[in-house]
Amino acid sequence: MLTPVAYALAVVLALFCVFIGVRFLMAPRAAAAGYGVPAKPDGDIAYLEIKGLRDLTFGILGLALIAFADAHAAGWYMLVVALAPLGDTLIVLRHGGAKAVAFGVHFATAVAVLVSAALLFAV
């Protein structure tokens, strides 16, 4: 029973990364507002697209590990990738974003990724 749950959560999180990445590439300003630190109207969207590419890459790599490696490799990936939403939490807080977004979105995501890692290690 634990194995399907572990893999399902990992797949959902990886697909979520793909979605966020594509959103930052296709609609960077709207995605930035959802991130918790809106983009400046006259700002360079290249940095938003970089975030999109980062998240898209994280998602695709996660899916590849889930498909082609064992649960422990995917667990290590999840453990390491949890640093991104933890860092995002700090970035939102440091730049005056809403605490609700920082903790309710980014920190909660980090916790979900860490739970995923723990489940994958337990498989």
pLDDT for 12-57, tens place per residue?
999 999 999 999 999 999 999 999 998 988 888 999 999 999 999 9
Question: 0.75 exceeded by the pTM?
Answer: yes
pLDDT reported for residue 35: 93
Q: What domain count does the chain have?
A: 1
- pLDDT of 67 > 90? The answer is yes
Host domain of residue 103: 2-122
Average pLDDT value for residue range 89-94: 96
Average pLDDT value for residue range 66-95: 96
Provide the CA 67 distance to its chain's centre, in angstroms.
Answer: 18
Share of the chain above pLDDT 70, in %: 100
Name the residue among 55, 5, 63, 61 with its Cα closest to residue 26: 55
Share of the chain above pLDDT 90, in %: 91
- pLDDT of 111 > 90? The answer is yes
Q: How far apart are CA 24 and CA 84, in angstroms?
A: 15
pLDDT reported for residue 66: 96
